[in-house]
A = this chain, B = another copy of it.
């Protein structure tokens, strides 16, 4: 099998190197091919998602992404929109047809103290957020800024809703069997369609799954004040962007949060943290999320769940023995990675 790696910007290359070391260890037969994306790709090739990268995806079995983007005041942010690093990321998602972004939010036993929430609220949290990734206000072509007015369009069609809802129900069947669909149906027509179609799919195909519908503002509250109530959450692109980042703070460090984006073609696996340009190149970035993304890649991208479990177990051990700075420890990227590799033996 072939895995394309896209290290990207900031700490992306460091954490991807760590993740690749782990991947080589557990799956030595995998061919790894590295390509450019994001701001670095723009610098080198004049665009954030170069043709060579796009071509390489054609026969890939899975894609491992670092992270893209520069600092808040990076000149990249002043480029015309299609040349910015984020546009490379959106184009990549589109090219891969990854319509469902899966983000597990799990508080590891013994690490409750890292959470900004009280330990009794954080303990045992285990949520899977399924975010629609290719539709809605992100991609709709009906958008414009001109003079003193601007607009974007949040649009969905039934097939777009159904395919991501299907993924959520499928995932719920292997978990606690509960799905919360999130919308703003008391105000938006597009949410009315969303709610109707999610419910219809449940009634048609997933009668064993318990489905309820909640408003996005209410979920933003409850995910913080009572996170234990959720199993699988499914929602549209923009709400998912906000809620999945929000939920990601519960475990206490973004350095612990992997993600998988799945669809028709090869899956895309990436840590959810940003490029953290302030600490890039210092050897202190926490590679756990990137390594856990390898776990998701092995499970969902290459169907190797034994190897995936081995990675997950090794990361859990390393986190206890050699916590990185964001976790209140002192381990650097290299030490932590070494600890994961050692724990796998």
Contacts and interface: CB of A to CB of B under 8 A. Distances in A.
A189 B224 contact: no
- Copies of the chain in the assembly: 2
A174 interface: no
Interface string A223-245: 01100000000000011011101
A145 B161 CA distance: 14
A218 to B, nearest CB: 7
Given A217-B242, A218-B245, A153 B156 contact: no
Contact of A188 (B137, B224, B243): B137
Contact of A157 (B149, B156, B246): B149
B145 A155 contact: no
A245 B224 contact: no
A11 interface: no
Interface string A137-172: 110101111001111111111110000000000000
Contacts of A91: none
A111 interface: no
10 contacts: A149-B156, A151-B153, A151-B190, A152-B189, A217-B242, A220-B246, A221-B246, A221-B248, A224-B246, A246-B246
Interface of A: 77, 84, 86, 90, 116-118, 121, 137-138, 140, 142-145, 148-159, 184, 186-190, 192-194, 216-218, 220-221, 224-225, 238-239, 241-243, 245-246, 248-249, 254
Given A117-B117, A150-B156, A221-B245, 10 more contacts: A116-B121, A116-B224, A137-B154, A145-B192, A150-B155, A151-B154, A151-B189, A184-B238, A217-B241, A221-B249
